[in-house]
Amino acid sequence: MPRKPRTPRKTKPPTGRWRSLKVSNTFRSFVLDQLGELGDVTPRAMFGGVGLYHCDVFFGIIARDTLYLKVGETNRGEYLRARMKAFRPYPNRSGSMTYYAVPLDVLENAQELADWARRAIAVATSSSPSRRRRAGIRTKP
């Protein structure tokens, strides 16, 4: 008896699946121009997104045409007051990384964005003395 041809199964994508972090060249260039005042900001490709480094300190992520900056106890309130969301590369997993989206009005103001980025760099360097040295941050007068 001839076999019946199999029909392809319709499968759901796995929950918690990683989504592309792809960034448009236009948005990447805009963010880098806005951060120009900081000097020495280096973009590095990261799973389709872009990691942002200042003096080898990782302080930001550009993903899905959104800028996320490093957040800690000293600057988290600014992001929460602006009702910004945490970076979550896996949307259905609990928890998040310590990077939050930057408000649009901050992103559009280069001076204010530089201030927010400096605070993100300070948070990123606060956990490690070697990172503080690389970033040129002194802990003692």
The residue ranges of every structural domain in the chain are: 25-130
Interatomic CA distance for residues 117 and 111, integer angstroms: 10
Structure confidence by residue, pLDDT tens digits, 111-134: 999 999 999 999 999 966 554 455
- Give the Cα-Cα-Cα angle 94, 65, 32 (nearest 5 degrees): 120
Q: Per-residue pLDDT averaged across 77-98, rounded? A: 83
For the chain, the distance separating the N- and C-terminal CA atoms, rounded to the nearest angstrom, is 88
The pLDDT, as a whole number, for residue 107 is 97
The pLDDT, as a whole number, for residue 89 is 78
Q: Per-residue pLDDT averaged across 40-47, rounded? A: 92
Least confident of 25-29, 62-66, 104-108, 132-136: 132-136
The CATH number that domain 25-130 falls under is: 3.30.1460.30
Interatomic CA distance for residues 125 and 115, integer angstroms: 15
